[in-house]
Amino acid sequence: MGAEGQSTSNGPQPTANGRQDVPIITIDGPSGSGKGTIARIVASKLGWHMLDSGALYRLVALAGADRGLAPDDEAGHAQIAKALDVVFDAEPDGEERIWLEGVEVSARIRTEEAGAAASRVAAMPSVREGLLARQRAFAQPPGLVADGRDMGTIVFPHARLKIFLTASPEERARRRYKQLKDKGLSANLAALSLEIAERDRRDASRAVAPLKPADDAIVVDSTSMSIDAVVARVLELAAARFPVNR
Ligand code: C5P
């Protein structure tokens, strides 16, 4: 998150006008659609900042569990969301490093359990509200690529390029499986398919900021596209929307 090598406990600082003038690309979509990978590559190619909003929900859930909060304690989780003490950093090779209250949690937040716990706290309106200003503060020059579920609908409704990235449920489960295995984490394809289906259902049916494409989003189905092909498509759209970056 943030520009490469950038380390910050609060993210870039907000400006009075909410930085509507900063070019923003939002990439929303369901779990395993490849948003994170695509957003990271596009941000690095453009030299823009990157917001991994899912990490924030994962961190709130993790901090709540570490403090012994009940999973349904909305006020407690909202408090954490507002005052989250987190540092995002990256190794020179691009490997992410995330510190929560001074303790490294890079691997812990990437498990399926952390994803499921994130999806539960993400359904709490005051948690979402508590993270809003922090997310918007990432909109800093020269530009931002924001990855999540509600980037184009709620957090950056004025973004000039909105992508809704999707893929078939089978393909998303397969990608998640590979991602977890590559990180040396344990994974089971059948269990992952069920977990992804459950997370999709919860994310799409919640009352606040449900997962859905913004009216002006471009839907990209990546089921049979390579990562390079999706990146090329997003960069092509970006070049048309933000001519100065040509
Ligand atoms: O993208 P990631 O898998 O890290 O997100 C974890 C969970 O956080 C999602 O399943 C979703 O419930 C929640 N989330 C959200 N809004 C976002 C990003 C993530 O509700 N903008």
pLDDT tens track of the chain, all 246 residues?
443 333 344 444 444 444 458 999 999 999 889 999 999 999 999 999 999 999 999 999 999 999 999 999 999 999 999 999 999 888 877 778 999 999 999 999 988 889 889 999 999 999 999 999 999 999 999 999 999 999 999 999 999 999 999 999 889 999 989 988 888 888 899 999 998 888 888 888 988 888 899 999 999 999 999 999 999 999 999 999 998 654
Give residues (CB < 6 A) around ligand 1: 31, 53-54, 57-58, 115, 118-119, 122, 148-150, 199, 203
Nearest to 95 by CA among 4, 215, 177: 4
Cα first-last separation, the chain: 24
> Omega into 125 within 30° of 0, i.e. cis?
no
* Helix or strand run (H / E) with residue 145: strand 144-148
Phi, psi of 92 (to 5 degrees): -55, -30
The C-alpha atoms of residue 57 and residue 206 are separated, in whole angstroms, by 15
Best mutation site among 1, 28, 38, 57 for ligand 1 pocket (most ligand atoms within 8 Å of CB): 57
Best mutation site among 40, 50, 53, 180 for ligand 1 pocket (most ligand atoms within 8 Å of CB): 53
* Domains, the chain, with CATH or none: 24-239 (3.40.50.300)
